[in-house]
Amino acid sequence: MLRISADKIYQLLEAASAAQTVYIPADREDGEAEFRKYETGMQLTNRLNTLRSAKDFFFPQTENLVEFRMDGKNIEINDIRRECEDFVIFGVRACDARSFTILDKVYLVDPVDSFYKSRRDHGTVVTMACSRPAETCFCQTFGIDPTAPEGDCSVWNDGSYYYFQPNTEKGQKFVDSVSSLLEDGDTAGLDKSVERTKEVMKKLPLANLSAENFGGDKLNEYFNSDKWAELSESCLGCGTCTFVCPTCQCYDIKDFNTGHGIKRYRCWDSCMYSDFTKMAHGNPRLTQLERFRQRFMHKLVYFPANNNGEFGCVGCGRCLSKCPISMNIVKVMKALEVK
């Protein structure tokens, strides 16, 4: 397999960033990690994953859709869309890589969302296999193998070498852009490292969490479960889970008067918010119970019902870490499961 000695990884990032913009997971001042545009001297984080998910690259928190110029009774529509430039996200974990295929099932089905598609077409996802999973990890529950991440190009690090395996044309293009630095080599060290990680995976506290009893066939049974009241009891109705989630894709569309015209933009929205379904004449989800239920029903029941059994969760564990009251999808699954 193509590989590069671990001490030369920054040479590789340097070369790749000469060809196109490269983002890497780097440390922030507060000890968390986030994707940052690679610049000389920047270090890869040691944290397992970034606080915010990699979905931001394809579905940013806020983006402008269209602009209007208002003049008396007249309106002029200004299509401000521009083709996005090529970029690479380096070091995406297997969970986040899978989240893109979930987002694709929403945004790339007819009618295609051209804003999302442009970024998807121009973004190259270079994934990084995990070797030190956290207690909050449960990607295995959704059939994700963190030692064999998907993406345009998969990368492994066994401590001595980084190994590269392109999976798509875009991935090949990325590898080609750094091919002068790569050499063919054996994978003995890598095989051992993967073996070790697989052993660790078995020991994770959530290793045995199964989603097999969820999905579309018990839709009403889960919807009508008497467990929702207790589960949602202390939910604050904030959007933390939604906004750190790599698969949450709901949005709001709003207008902003810039003083020179109207800017229509979309931004992340959360089904946990009280105004999410509020209309001029009423709201079908009046209490936090209904809103809380919607979020988990969507991921565990509605999404699989509409997408051949695929769940709307990738087990990244961000909501487990970040919920202010530590309520999360794992607790919901355990409490709710009907065998």
Partner 1 sequence: MQEAMINKAKQLLADGTVSRVIGWKRGEFAYDITPAVFETAEELEREFVFDDFTSANVSKYLVKESQKEGKVLAFLKPCDTYSLNQLTKEHRVDRDNIYVVGIPGGPKLDIEKIKAKGITGITGVKNDNYTLRIETIYGEETMPFYEAVLDKCASCKSKKHVTYDELIGEDGDVLESNRFDMVEKLENMTSQERYDFWRGELSKCIRCNACRNVCPACTCENCVFDNPNSGIDNKAPADSFEENMFHIIRAFHVAGRCTDCGECSRVCPQHIPLHLLNRKFIKDINALYGEYQAGADTTSRAPLTNYTADDCEASVVHERGVE
Partner 2 sequence: MNANDTLIPHIGIVTDIRIDTPDVKTFRVEAPEGGKVFEHMPGQCAMLSIPGVGEAMFSITSSPTNKEFMEFSIKKCGCLTNWLHAMDVGQMITIRGPYGNAFPVETELKGKDLLFIAGGIGLAPLRSVINYVRDKRENYGSIQVIYGSRSKDDLVDYKEILDEWMTDDGVEVDLTIDNAQEGWDGHVGFVPNYVKELDPSTNKTVLVCGPPIMIKFTLAGLKELGFTETQVYTTMELRMKCGVGKCGRCNIGNKYVCKDGPVFRFDQLGELPDEY
Binding site for partner 1 (CB under 8 A): 30-32, 46-48, 51-52, 61-62, 132-136, 200, 203-206, 230, 233-234, 236-240, 242-244, 252, 254, 256, 258, 263, 265, 267-270, 273-275, 320-322, 324-328, 330-331
264 binds partner 2 (CB under 8 A): yes
Instruction: Provide, rounded to whole angstroms, the least separation between the CB of residue 274 and partner 2.
Output: 12
Question: Which CB sits closer to partner 2, 13 or 272?
Answer: 272
List the one residue from 38, 58, 90, 107 that touches partner 2 (CB under 8 A): 107
Rounded to a whole number of angstroms, the minimum distance from the CB of residue 156 to partner 2 is 35
Q: Which burial class, exposed, middle or buried, applies to 145 when counting CB atoms under 10 A from its CB (0-12, 13-18, 19+)? A: middle
Residue number, 34 or 290, with CB nearest to partner 2: 290
Query: Distance between CA 276 and CA 283 in Å, rounded?
Result: 9
Calpha distance 251→242 (Å, rounded): 11
Q: Over 15-64, what HEC string results?
A: HHHHHCEEEEEEECCCCCEEEEECCCCCCCCCCCCCCCCHHHHCCCCEEE
Q: Which is nearer to partner 1, 177 or 197 (CB)?
A: 197
* 338 binds, options partner 2, partner 1, none, Cβ within 5 to 8 A by partner type: none
Q: Which of 32, 62, 148, 223 binds partner 2 (CB under 8 A)?
A: 223
- State the minimum distance, in angstroms, from the CB of residue 245 to partner 1: 11
Q: At 287, is the secondary structure helix, strand, or coil?
A: coil
Q: Which does 335 bind (CB under 5 to 8 A by kind): partner 1, partner 2, none?
A: none
Sign of dihedral through CA atoms 92, 93, 99, 101?
positive
Closer by beta carbon to partner 2, 3 or else 298:
298
Does 301 sit near partner 2 (CB under 8 A)? yes
- Cβ partners under 8 Å of residue 190, min gap 6: 1, 156, 158, 161, 163
Q: Which CA distances in Å does 270 have to 52, 82, 148, 156, 249? A: 15, 27, 31, 35, 9
Q: Among 252, 309, 310, 331, which residue sits at the site for partner 2 (rule: CB under 8 A)?
A: 252
| Of 297, 335, 339, 329, nearest in space to 141 by CA | 329
Q: Considering only residues 96, 113, 152, 337, which one is a binding residue for partner 2 as defined by CB under 8 A?
A: 113
Question: Looking at residue 299, what DSSP letter applies?
Answer: I
Shortest gap between Cβ of 269 and partner 1 (angstroms)? 6
Q: Please tell me whether the peptide bond between 111 and the residue prior to it is cis, using omega within 30 degrees of 0.
A: yes
Binding mask 68-97 for partner 2 (x = CB under 8 A): x-x--xxx-x-x-xxx--------------
Q: Which of 160, 208, 224, 287 lies at the binding interface for partner 2 (CB under 8 A)? A: 224
